[in-house]
Structure 1
Amino acid sequence: MSNLLLDLPLWGIMVIVIGGLTAVAVGLQAAIRAFFPEIMAQRHNDVAGFLAAVIGVIYAVTVGFIIAEQWDNFTDAKDRTYREAFTLSSIVEGSIVLGPVQQRQFSDAVLAYNREVIAWWPRQGEGGAEELRQAQTLTPLHIALNQAQPTTEAQRAFVTDASARLADVAADREDRLHRARNAHLEWPLWVLVGFASAVVLVFCALFGLESRWLHYTMIAGVAMAVGSNLLLVILLNHPLSGALSVGPDAYLSVVADLTR
């Protein structure tokens, strides 16, 4: 389901998830009041309230843990993209010790790599020839380092440090592509989240209130809260695509700096 929602704008996802779940919950409440009018006798409220409180705590812990893990994955993915982009930028800055000609060579190579990443960003994770071509755009940087002939201590230190940094960039790139392909919840966790959300709504619907509209207002509020949690799970499920995702801001910033 989350894959189908990725191409929708944020407001559209909010309407479908929160609005749809609220409509379902209110409809469930209406059906219970219509077919089980004895619910308004309120004799069962103490038991239902106790069970709803226990289930609510379990739901909060379970879904909260999943959202926390997804948020950590999201922020880590963002940090890795910034590190990948700005590590290459620092290599260009440090290459001044090799002279302006070689610095231009490094700058052109980094610009080519960042532009390739930006152009391919919406389709990353698809694999194939595009992914291979992106990996090959780092080749000019390796060639430039291999062709460098350091004669001073500063130049030798730069070449050693830049070689290590290029290895880190390659690792960050592989991590980014792996997240784009695989960083999502497995189906058992989706079943768990859906089941826990349904149980919370059902137990809240079992309360008996004489006021019809107050009853509907309460179940709608709970449904919107549960829907907000589901919305977060869906939006954070793919950290590198969708309405709420890490964008190529770092790479755009590097391109702007180097072309200035």
Structure 2
Amino acid sequence: MSAWLVGHIPAGVLLVALIVLIAGGAVLLQRVVRRRYPHLAGEDHNDVTRFTYGVIGFVYAFFIGFVVSAMWGHINTADGNIRAEGAAAVQLARDSVVFDEADGQRVRDRLLAYGQASLAEWPIVGGHSTADADAALADVYRAYEQIRPVNDTQKTFLATSFGNLDKVSQARTVRVLQARGDDGIPWPLWAVIFLTSAMVLGTAIIYGVEKPSMHYPMVAIVGVLVATNLFLVLQLAHPFVGDVATSADPLREFVAVLARPGG
């Protein structure tokens, strides 16, 4: 569900929708509470609510910070992996000029086919493996196996190229496995997020403020804060989906290098 929301709804629209839903709903609920329970404005009640809000707010801030930090680390890991894949692939393209013209051209053609297949599979459920990309990568290996080096320079570059090709293959495997296992935040964490968010909003709603003109803005502000935190959690929940997800730019650069004359 979270992946669908992030993948199909623009970030700006999703943020506004969450703010309207949560902050607006909190203000409406506050209006009902003020009418039905006017005695909540008592000072004794406020003393208890103030203490409770301080404890809940601290736990809420700590927990949301922990979740956001962990998910941002997952995105950084995925981003570093795709950069390593792209960098190794670009190095393969540049080193291919050392080989004989026919061998170098065959290698570049196979690398270009692999790069295009990798880009084609990227939008498919977060970069899951496709048969075309698997076959293209196998063709790259065969192209290097067909090279017969004629001097020490070509031997050295061939050995280096096989090492870089292994890095590309390993990075792609990590990317595919991470994408396949991307189920977002597990439901126990969602349960805690929703529970603590509701408690933060609830204590703000029942806090006794004599003047409604002061109470409504307070609840609205807390509602906006909760909505933006939920929006941030949703955006960071999936490393390959959404506006802050890992980008395929390193693969695009790899394809661009091969597409340039003399690449």
* TM-score range normalised by the length of the shorter chain: over 0.9
Quote the Cα distance in structure 1 between the aligned partners of 2:90 and 2:78.
Answer: 19
Residue 157 of structure 1, CA deviation = 2.2
Quote the Cα distance in structure 2 between the aligned partners of 1:91 and 1:49.
Answer: 63
Quote the Cα distance in structure 1 between the aligned partners of 2:132 and 2:88.
Answer: 20
Residue 95 of structure 1, CA deviation = 2.1
**TM-score between the two structures when normalised by the length of structure 2:** 0.91
2:8 corresponds to which residue?
7
After TM superposition, the structure 1 = structure 2 runs for residues 76-115 of structure 1, keeping only pairs within 5 Å, are: 76-115=77-116
Letter in 1 for 2:131: L
After TM superposition, the structure 1 = structure 2 runs for residues 150-229 of structure 1, keeping only pairs within 5 Å, are: 150-183=149-182, 184-229=184-229
Deviation string, structure 1 residues 194-232 (Cα, Å, up to 9, x no partner): 111111111121211112121111111111111111111
Q: Secondary structure at 1:254's aligned position in 2? A: helix
Deviation string, structure 1 residues 13-39 (Cα, Å, up to 9, x no partner): 112222211112112211211111111
Contact kept? 1:125, 1:178, Cα under 8 Å = no
Q: Secondary structure at 2:9's aligned position in 1? A: coil
Residue 81 of structure 1, CA deviation = 1.3
* Aligned residues between the structures: 258
Q: Secondary structure at 1:122's aligned position in 2? A: coil
Which stretches of structure 1, 4 residues or longer, exceed 3 Å deviation after superposition? 124-127
**TM-score between the two structures when normalised by the length of structure 1:** 0.92
Q: CA RMSD in A?
A: 1.8
Which segment drifts farther, 51-60 or 155-164? 155-164
1:139 corresponds to which residue?
138
Asked whether 1:32 is paired with 2:33, we answer yes
Letter in 1 for 2:154: Q
Deviation string, structure 1 residues 102-157 (Cα, Å, up to 9, x no partner): 22222211211111122222114585xx6232122111210122112223333222
Quote the Cα distance in structure 2 between the aligned partners of 1:12 and 1:39.
Answer: 36
Q: Secondary structure at 1:242's aligned position in 2? A: coil
Contact kept? 1:85, 1:114, Cα under 8 Å = no
Quote the Cα distance in structure 2 between the aligned partners of 1:211 and 1:152.
Answer: 87
Contact kept? 1:18, 1:231, Cα under 8 Å = no
Quote the Cα distance in structure 2 between the aligned partners of 1:88 and 1:4.
Answer: 31
What residue ranges of structure 2 are gaps of 5+ in the alignment? Answer: none
What residue ranges of structure 1 are gaps of 5+ in the alignment? Answer: none
Q: Secondary structure at 2:13's aligned position in 1? A: helix
Percent identity of equivalent pairs: 30
Q: Secondary structure at 1:43's aligned position in 2? A: helix
